[in-house]
Structure 1
Amino acid sequence: MKKKILASLVATMAVGATCAFAANPFVDVPTDSWAYKSVVELADAGIIQGVDGTYFQGSRNITRYEAAEMTAKAMAHMDKASVEQRAMINKLADEYADELNNLGVRVSNLEQKVGNVKMTGDFRIRYKHQSDGFTRDAARVDPITQKVTPLRTNDQFQYRMRLRANAYINDKTKAVLGISTGNKTFFDGASTAASGESTSSYVDDAYVTSDLTKNFNVKAGRWDFYNLGNGLGLQYGDTFEAMQGQYKLGNFTLTGGFGEFKEGAAYTGVYTDADGNPVSNNKYITQTGGHTLVGVQTGYGEIEGAFNKVGFGVYYNAFNDSTAKTQNLSKIIGGYAKFQLGDKWNLIGDYQKVKKDQTKQYDDDANLWGAKLSYGTAAFNKAGSWDAWLEYINADPNALYGSTNSWRQANLIDNVKSWGVGVDYTIGKNVMFSVMQSFASSLKDSSYGTKDPNEETRAQFVFVF
């Protein structure tokens, strides 16, 4: 097959590449050539490299192996391909199936990706340890007083599985449907039957996103991850239903919408006494009864900027519905900043101001901030890649409201000063192992408890497919 013929064929599926200002990398392709634009687009997308990176040699016959390489590279842009382009890639995958297999690209995987629907998912299994940190489903009943006391356990094993169906409606519109098992606890001695578990599987993704213009995108429905503030996710990082618009202007992105928080257990602020027993009559419990964002509605807006080695964002969440008022919540204002320090070092700082609906003695405005310094990058598609990180959390009492995206238990985020360290390592393609440990944790305000929270240890495996 002539290289110039294949170039024009693959050019129809070179998606995601923009070359308005890309330079011609080949000295033997003049600007007035019929293939000039296609060749530059393909080179800019990384699909072709030419000969020695200097000559295109468009009249030379190429090998089937070279054609298979181009096909495999075109697959890297599948997420932005049109229906017609995916059909073309499917034909090429069939034609060069043997060569693709020799390259380590399974044709069955290609066929899964080139249709209108792409299936993805992940499975996580983790271990957590924190002395007197977890409550079992069962409870202990005093035979005389009939007082019910939740059973406590130091260790907890959990698993979670999620499946995603990504349907490409057209070049600009995509629909996503996903289900999740939620975090399932096992080896805890609970007697609850699987069919009756309260944390049964649920739809955590059901949304449509569409590019109305080159710079304006809309999104509507339910999605599994709303990171309040797009920083460290200390306050909330869970299921959210909303209608949202996003506009990109150069290095800046403006996001706004209206939605409702759908997942996350309430944080009741339970601390332990000097003997390690749960405190049932502390000021937090008697005054507030705990906080949650579930069912709370919010109008939100955010401005973000991304430059060479610096990124930042400022945001505003307003809460005006009756559910928010029962949680004594008015608004959350905050921002984050990210810095790339050299080739492998990264630093992020995150701050939130939680404004209450009413000023109360034991439920006043609260500040929540954290910082994380990391080295390296652990990537699922690169076996042997790794990173290590160090973090610091400083939170006032009553700062935490939701289903945090942090690895920590809630009592290591609310009313606490605490350090943490962790390592992530990709032990094989699509398999990552992580371990985290808190240290030097202490209560910020001792009037909400008499004993510092116990340190937490976590270890987990995550498999993606």
Structure 2
Amino acid sequence: MSKKTLISAITAALVVGAASTTFAAANPFSDVPSDSWAYDAVSTLAADGVIDGYPDGTYQGNNTMTRYEMAQIVARAMAKTDIDKADKAIVDKLAAEFADELDNLGVRVADLEKKSDNVVWKGKVKYKYVDENHDVGKDKLTNKVTFRLEPKAYIGNSGWTANARIDYDLNLSTSSNGDGEISRAWVEGPLFGGTVQAGKVPLFTAQGMIIDDPFSGATVSWGSDKLNATFMAGRYNHEHDLPGDKETSRDVTAEYYGTQIDYTPNDKWALNAGYTALKNLEQHDVPVSDDFKDDSLGIWYVGGSYAFDKNVKLVGQYAKSDADNYENAGIVELDYKGAKKSDPGSWGAYVGYRHLGQNAVIEPTYDDAAADQKGMVFGVQYALAENIIADVEYFTGKDISTDEDADTFFTKVEFSF
């Protein structure tokens, strides 16, 4: 098939209807006569193995196509290497849309990346404006642009990849030069029947409520898409500002250990449980907080999500630490729809409540509320154009340690490439 023919043929064939799985045909199907407007497209795709017919030799183009059947066509289109850049972009969009179905077919979107280049570059430019207000404590205003690169290099055919995240921040409130860093760098691949990550590794535990931050060490995961266990060990460096005359779990260097079990029995439920431990906490500018027992901190957690349908999802998470103060954390959140980078005009919204006891969380993923805060959160996302997402989020509540009012107004526009 020529470079230009594949996408146009798929487009024509999709208008006709469905394809099934068992009968490959290089010639037109019995129910697609030679005088049909779709004859050329259907016969060409059949000859190239992109579409199949039914065992009785028919195409049954008037039937409604399922997402699973569409994923089969996308998978075969992904296997083609002789398509031009414009057509490849369309296939990439289709692969993103049908990622779940392709995963069930055992097809990874990464397979398409490997065919195009040994090193894949992704990234984003992000503008963020944050206005934090505290009745007691220091208010904070953030007005910055972040340029991020995320390269992935395939290491031969070993199944291993080398990955990194490179960030450069510009403070728009000053005229000073920006700050750049390689915030993450790790290798990832199969080993002993599991998946290993090693280096400065990204962590995302308890749906991000406990930690969404890198650490130096390794993780290993075993299991399946339904039941999976992950084990982590290494060293965590605070890289955060000290909050006052005492440190919290966020402001230490320590040995880091953790484990998490994820259970996803179906497309509605996703459950997790785990334990995170910081050992041999090291002091910095001030003594380690008396809240920590034996210079260590342990956090147990459990949570999950339930999807009522494709648009509405309920999320919950709870954590309890062995610190003497602020030892609990929990969130509940109702999500509606969601903005998709590939779908301009799509949008999403959420409402929830967060209680983030500062010694029961380390570095939460949330943009609306921070450690040592509790209160209501609201947010909305909108896809302004392809690969451009705008966020507006708001927190209103209290700083837990002072029991005084606080609020945060957060806005972000993200340009992905």
The 5-angstrom pairing of residues 112-127 of structure 1 reads 114-127=116-129
Given the alignment of the two structures, is residue 303 of structure 1 paired with residue 256 of structure 2, yes or no? no
The SS at the match of 2:126 is strand
* 2:340 maps to 1:379: yes
Contact 2:336-2:348 within 8 A present in 1 as well: yes
Paired residues, what number? 342
Could you tell me how far apart the structure 2 residues matched to 1:52 and 1:111 are?
A: 31
The TM-score, its normalising length taken from structure 1, stands at 0.64
Task: After TM superposition, give the deviation of residue 389 of structure 1 in Å.
Answer: 0.4
Report how far residue 205 of structure 1 moved.
2.3
- Residue 238 of structure 1 deviates from its aligned partner by 1.5
The 3-state SS of whatever aligns with 2:282 is helix
- 1:10-409 equivalences under 5 Å are 25-26=21-22, 48-50=50-52, 73-74=74-75, 89-90=80-81, 92-93=82-83, 97=84, 100=87, 114-131=116-133, 155-169=141-155, 170-181=157-168, 183-187=169-173, 190=174, 193-194=176-177, 200-212=179-191, 215-223=193-201, 225-229=202-206, 231=207, 233-249=208-224, 251-262=226-237, 264-266=239-241, 268=243, 285-286=244-245, 288-308=246-266, 309-323=268-282, 326-327=288-289, 328=292, 329-356=296-323, 359=324, 364=325, 366-396=327-357, 398-399=358-359, 402-409=362-369
| CA drift at 1:394 | 2.0
**1-side partners of 2:274 and 2:319: how far apart?**
9
Question: Cα gap change, 1:405/1:49 in structure 2, threshold over 3 Å: closer, same or farther?
Answer: same
CA distance in 1, matches of 2:56, 2:332: 46
- Asked if the contact 1:238/1:263 (under 8 Å) is kept, the reply is no
Structure with higher Rg: it is 1
Amino acid aligned to 1:314: A
Distance 1:104 1:28 in 2: 22
Deviations 1:250-291 (A, max 9, x none): 6210111202224541451xxxxxxxxxxxxxxxx45x2555
Amino acid aligned to 2:171: T
Secondary structure of the 2:223 match is strand
| Preserved CA contact (<8 Å) 1:238 1:264 | no
Q: 1:419 to 1:322 in 2, by over 3 A?
A: closer
For structure 2, the 5+ residue unaligned runs are 7-18, 26-44, 60-69, 94-111
Opposite residue 207 of structure 1, the aligned amino acid is W
What corresponds to 1:461 in structure 2?
413
- AA of the residue aligned to 1:421: F
Report the CA distance between 1:208 and its aligned residue: 0.9
> Is 1:430 paired with 2:387?
yes
The alpha-carbon deviation at position 418 of structure 1 amounts to: 0.3
State the match for 1:66 in structure 2: none
Using the TM superposition, give the Cα deviation of residue 338 of structure 1 relative to its aligned residue in structure 2, in angstroms. Answer: 0.9
Supply the distance in 1 between the matched residues of 2:89 and 2:126 (Cα, whole angstroms).
31
Identity over aligned pairs, percent: 18
Amino acid at match of 2:277: A
- What is the RMSD computed on CA atoms of the aligned residues? 3.9
Q: Distance in 1 between matches of 2:306 and 2:92?
A: 36
Within 1, Cα distance between the matches of 2:317 and 2:58?
Answer: 49
Q: Distance in 2 between matches of 1:243 and 1:103?
A: 36
